Structure 1
């Protein structure tokens, strides 16, 4: 049985992508991918992108800010991971910086300590060096800065040994 491919008029595609953008902030890359899936010609893609930007459905700074807030609050990612993920989505350096400005230094430190302490206490490894490596790898994967990771590990080890 042959799969039937949908085709869209310019207006149908605009409405569909407006709904797509209203549901959640999107970046240009996601919209481009969606337009290719819809099999729109390059001229139509340009018109639709322009329409979405003019009517504020597509705003890269807003996307960067909400992405950074959400990933920090929900997944507790560090700045490096958020920055890397935004760059993968072709977000400009200015917008990456704007997104990272959404994270307050106090909240960042507090979350970093909570995540570190929880992981440190959760790793059941008798060998101290292996435990340190497991916790450090986890925190680095989460996107926390390496100098902070090693400082907090020393602090937690002293705290647990006293």
Structure 2
């Protein structure tokens, strides 16, 4: 691999400051920080040193990231628990932290959101056959990460 002369090299101090700004912009996972450090071509010892400093100064906090991620994906993107959990796993968030982060979603708010998403999508599905219409709705809600038992509970009240 050739070194790119246009690629800037950073001192540990410069990289730390850059990563502090990166983490201050929005909550980041440790994996995102490690990826950024690799892009900056930092050596492993420097990466570890910078990551520890970010954690000590609370720029990097996995629990805060997980909670913020769950809140945002649920309230803004209207994702279900399954999809959110998969995305957190992709970011190497541990199962206990994922469980803790899910306390950010109120069960009644979750069910209400599922009903709203389902009702909105049902109005957009252009299908005459009621069976196919329900099938398309259930598939869509699954793609959004909602659980099958809840989907079936919500859709049984709809007129197809």
TM-score by length of 2: 0.94
Inter-partner Cα distance in structure 2 for 1:22 and 1:151:
41
Inter-partner Cα distance in structure 2 for 1:102 and 1:5:
41
Larger fraction in helix: 1
Match of 2:140 in 1: 138
Indicate the larger mover: 145-154 or 60-69: 145-154
Q: Is 2:154 aligned against 1:152?
A: yes
1:116 to 114, 118, 122: 118
Segments of 5+ residues of structure 1 without an aligned counterpart are none
Question: 1:151 Cα shift?
Answer: 2.2
For residue 67 of structure 2, give the secondary structure of its aligned residue in structure 1: helix
Question: 1:3 Cα shift?
Answer: 5.5
Give per-residue Cα distances to partners, 1:109-157, cap 9 Å, x unaligned.
Answer: 1111111111112211001122112111110011100111122222113
Segments of 5+ residues of structure 2 without an aligned counterpart are none
Inter-partner Cα distance in structure 1 for 2:146 and 2:93:
20
Give per-residue Cα distances to partners, 1:8-53, cap 9 Å, x unaligned.
Answer: 0000000000000000000011001000000000000010000000
| Pairs aligned (count) | 157
Q: Is 2:110 aligned against 1:86?
A: no
Instruction: Give runs of aligned pairs for residues 40-119 of structure 1, distance below 5 A.
Output: 40-119=42-121
RMSD over aligned Cα, in angstroms? 1.2
